[in-house]
């Protein structure tokens, strides 16, 4: 048995949806755990998935031991930026899914971690060992992986408390007018396409800070700092609020792209957190991938 402890930041529509976004468990898994009496809110067992979460509620999820699945360790090249006995920092390439899902059990970051890293925390079960936070498949860059449950819990607390600093660089279509600003717009499931996210009135609060790094004649290189961690947050805010979608993003941007890319030009460039064991402030940076740099070089040459 293992437990996950959470404190809600604000009122949310449904308990199962809140837990799905804050534990990396699927909603169907959570609903089963709730039906079995495995979720308490302020000390009381809650079995109804649609129960509303109140601000500052103390939520405990007790998960039974899972039946091991055959998730193979694969010798996939992995850029391990740093590791010790408690955690590892990975520079994930574009095109790699973080963990198995939807009957896909190979070629993910988890498969590579099982080969290259000896120990991983078990809080998120056999499908997502060690996974504290995620990046979209076609987003490159830094993420931290926990090697034990104590480290996992402490790192998740930092993400929830917004003390874990995550900075991304993205190339946007068009030219932004402002040099910097804050996007504060709620994000939830798109009402017409459940596979996509959108800015919706009843969504969860999502806040993104942005600063222009470099301007081109037809594009803008922008630094984004996440203050919340909603699904597809930067991509949605860039497209739906700033009206300058990320280059290469066919889901939220232009279907016809000017550059030959395999995904969006969005890179998790800097990651900063307090080490869960030593208390040391740690900051890591990953350079922009070659394909990202090539597009920037092309734009700079056109500027000249």
pLDDT at 12 over 70: no
Q: Confirm if 185 and 168 have CB atoms less than 8 A apart.
A: no
Structure tokens at 265: 């030009």
Distance CA 188, CA 202 (A): 7
Q: Which of 36, 84, 119, 136 is catalytic?
A: 136
What structural domains does the chain harbor?
Answer: 2-63 (3.10.290.10), 66-161 (3.30.2350.10), 166-268+293-303 (3.30.2350.10)
Best CA proximity match to 64, nearest among 17, 30, 21, 100:
30
Q: What is the pLDDT of residues 268-280, one digit of tens each?
A: 999 999 999 999 9
The widest CA-to-CA distance across the chain, in whole angstroms, is: 65
Angle at 119 between CA 114 and CA 122, to 5 degrees: 90
184 is catalytic: no
Neighbours of 284 (CB within 10 A): 18
Q: Who's near 179: CB < 8 A, 6+ residues apart? A: 211, 212
- The secondary structure element, H or E, covering residue 297 is helix 290-303
Q: What is the mean pLDDT of the chain?
A: 88
Q: What is the pLDDT of residues 70-106, one digit of tens each?
A: 678 899 999 999 999 999 999 999 999 998 877 778 8
Q: Confirm if 302 and 290 have CB atoms less than 8 A apart.
A: no
User: What is the DSSP-derived secondary structure letter of residue 239?
Assistant: I
Q: Confirm if 16 and 27 have CB atoms less than 8 A apart.
A: yes
- The secondary structure element, H or E, covering residue 14 is none
pLDDT the model gives residue 18 = 83
Looking at the whole model, is its pTM more than 0.85?
no
DSSP readout, 116-173? Answer: H-S----TTTTTSTTB-S---TT-EEEEEEESSHHHHHHHHHHHHTT-SEEEEEEEEE
Structure tokens at 30: 């959570």
If DSSP codes are grouped into helix, strand and coil, which group holds residue 68? coil
Distance CA 167, CA 266 (A): 11
Best CA proximity match to 5, nearest among 152, 165, 163, 204:
152
Distance CA 8, CA 186 (A): 16
Position with higher pLDDT, 65 vs 250:
250
Q: Confirm if 1 and 35 have CB atoms less than 8 A apart.
A: no
Stretch 218-229: mean pLDDT, rounded? 94
pLDDT the model gives residue 218 = 95
Q: What is the pLDDT of residues 34-55, one digit of tens each?
A: 888 888 988 889 888 888 888 8
pLDDT the model gives residue 70 = 63
Stretch 202-218: mean pLDDT, rounded? 95
Q: What is the pLDDT of residues 144-181, one digit of tens each?
A: 999 888 888 889 888 888 899 999 999 999 999 999 99
- Residue with token string 């109804």: 48
pLDDT the model gives residue 64 = 65
Q: What is the pLDDT of residues 99-132, one digit of tens each?
A: 887 777 889 999 999 889 878 876 666 556 788 8
Position with higher pLDDT, 222 vs 15:
222
pLDDT at 69 over 60: no
């Amino acid at each position: 048995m293992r437990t996950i402890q959470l404190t809600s930041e604000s009122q949310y529509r449904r308990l199962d949806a809140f837990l799905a976004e804050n534990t990396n468990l699927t909603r169907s898994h959570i609903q089963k755990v709730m039906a079995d009496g495995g979720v308490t809110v302020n000390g009381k067992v809650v079995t109804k998935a649609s129960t509303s979460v109140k601000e500052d509620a103390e939520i405990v999820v007790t998960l039974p031991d899972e039946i091991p699945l055959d998730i193979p360790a694969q010798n996939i090249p992995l850029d391990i930026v740093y590791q010790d006995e408690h955690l590892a920092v990975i520079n994930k390439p574009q095109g790699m899914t973080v963990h198995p899902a939807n009957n896909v059990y190979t070629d993910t970051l988890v498969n590579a971690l099982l080969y290259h890293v000896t120990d991983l925390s078990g809080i998120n079960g056999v499908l997502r060992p060690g996974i504290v936070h995620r990046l979209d498949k076609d987003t490159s860059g830094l993420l931290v992986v926990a090697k034990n449950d104590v480290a996992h819990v402490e790192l998740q607390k930092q993400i929830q408390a917004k003390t874990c600093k995550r900075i991304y660089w993205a190339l946007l279509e068009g030219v932004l007018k402002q040099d910097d600003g804050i996007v504060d717009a709620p994000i939830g499931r798109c009402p017409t396409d459940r596979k996509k996210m959108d800015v919706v009135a009843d969504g969860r609060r999502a806040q993104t800070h942005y600063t222009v790094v470099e301007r081109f004649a037809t594009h803008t290189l922008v630094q984004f700092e996440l203050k919340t961690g909603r699904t597809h947050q930067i991509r949605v805010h860039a497209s739906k609020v700033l009206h300058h979608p990320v280059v290469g993003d066919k889901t939220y941007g232009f279907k016809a792209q000017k550059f030959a890319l395999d995904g969006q030009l969005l890179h998790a460039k800097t990651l900063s957190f307090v080490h869960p064991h030593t208390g040391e402030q740690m900051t890591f940076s990953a350079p922009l991938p070659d394909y990202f740099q090539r597009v920037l070089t092309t734009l700079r040459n056109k500027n000249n």
